[in-house]
Structure 1
Amino acid sequence: MTMPYLANPDQQQTLEWLGGGLLTILLDSQATEGKLTVGLFDVPKDEAPPFHLHTREDEVFVLLKGNALVWAGDECHELSEGGAIYLPRNIPHSYRITSHRADLLLITTPGGIEEMFRHAGRDITTPRPEGFELNKDRLREAASLHGNVILGPPR
């Protein structure tokens, strides 16, 4: 049996993301013929993206380690370790990490959302500029370019 694509850790890209968290892109749209993106977040307590929606992708989060609050529309739910949530496109959502750290597995279909993360984040293999911070304007620009709509501040 032949594997269509195999990505060992040295072939994966890790980006610095919100609040000093990391996103490792395990499989991108190029590797999956555009079908999906798979990423792994390693994020600290209180990491929270803006309240937003995706116009192009359906999204699944699996909380591998830690705890979080998750908002979908007007509803707030607790997500505990091992829990998963499915967020169809055009559903406003966000989350906030409530444990000391968390590992989140991200799966989106179709693929392509990794380009938004690459646009706003920083590849950790490049030198970190002094005082680097994920800029809110750059995040808004990246979201807009890649079919995501920021609706408001983090929850």
Structure 2
Amino acid sequence: MTMAYLAQPDQQQTLEWLHGGLFTILLDSQATEGRLSVGRFDIPKGEAPPFHVHTREDEVFLLLKGEALVWVGDERHELSEGGIVYLPRNIPHGYRITSDRADLLLMATPAGIEEMFRHAGRDITTPRPDGFEITKEKLAEAAALRGNLIIGPPR
């Protein structure tokens, strides 16, 4: 049975992510019957994930605030506040935040990408372990869980 889902902020999970950024899972697989994942990044200048490919999901980024560089294949684009990017699966891509901070909305279909973030990130409601870090190895392991391939360093 399909049903609507509503989650107030205190029901959403926030994870510590790369470079001290935060990723909040707004909608996950369970909430959308596997159809859609939605998350929101609060990320500092310079944050850049490795150049990568999603093999299972299409992805959309909406830059709510801030500025970024986005690489799609070999093409480099500037993304300004309010800009949106559609990334079909199997297209290599990456980004780098160029403003002091960015507020970035991520949508992926089908759902499931949130498991990558949960695997490598840290729920901020739990005590932070000494020396917590998302290593290259941990990130690659998390990406592989979702069929994502890291194909190069950050751009």
Relative to the length of structure 2, the TM-score reads 0.97
Equivalent position of 1:62 in the other structure: 62
Matched, 1:29 2:37: no
Equivalent position of 2:150 in the other structure: 150
Cα deviation for residue 133 of structure 1 reads: 1.2
Equivalent position of 1:83 in the other structure: 83
User: SS state of the match for residue 23, structure 1?
Assistant: strand
Cα deviation for residue 62 of structure 1 reads: 0.2
Cα deviation for residue 57 of structure 1 reads: 0.4
| TM-superposition CA deviations, 1:76-131 (whole Å, max 9, x none) | 00000000000000000000000000000000000000001100110001100112
Cα deviation for residue 39 of structure 1 reads: 0.2
Measure, in 2, the Cα distance between the counterparts of 1:13 and 1:63: 20
Equivalent position of 1:16 in the other structure: 16
Structure 2 segments unaligned to the other structure (5+ residues): none
| TM-superposition CA deviations, 1:17-76 (whole Å, max 9, x none) | 000000000000110010000000000000000000100000000000000000000000
Equivalent position of 1:112 in the other structure: 112
> Which residue identity lines up with residue 57 of structure 1 in the other structure?
E
Count how many residue pairs are aligned between Structure 1 and Structure 2. 153
1:34-53 equivalence runs, <5 A: 34-53=34-53
Measure, in 2, the Cα distance between the counterparts of 1:26 and 1:83: 20
Structure 1 segments unaligned to the other structure (5+ residues): none
Equivalent position of 2:131 in the other structure: 131
Cα deviation for residue 11 of structure 1 reads: 0.7
Equivalent position of 1:4 in the other structure: 4
User: SS state of the match for residue 125, structure 1?
Assistant: coil
Measure, in 2, the Cα distance between the counterparts of 1:6 and 1:123: 21
Measure, in 1, the Cα distance between the counterparts of 2:134 and 2:143: 13
User: Alignment identity in percent?
Assistant: 80
Relative to the length of structure 1, the TM-score reads 0.97
> Which residue identity lines up with residue 72 of structure 1 in the other structure?
V
Measure, in 2, the Cα distance between the counterparts of 1:5 and 1:36: 12
| Root mean square deviation, CA, Å | 0.7
Measure, in 1, the Cα distance between the counterparts of 2:70 and 2:40: 17
Cα deviation for residue 4 of structure 1 reads: 1.1
User: SS state of the match for residue 14, structure 2?
Assistant: strand
Structure 1 ranges of 4+ moved more than 3 A: none
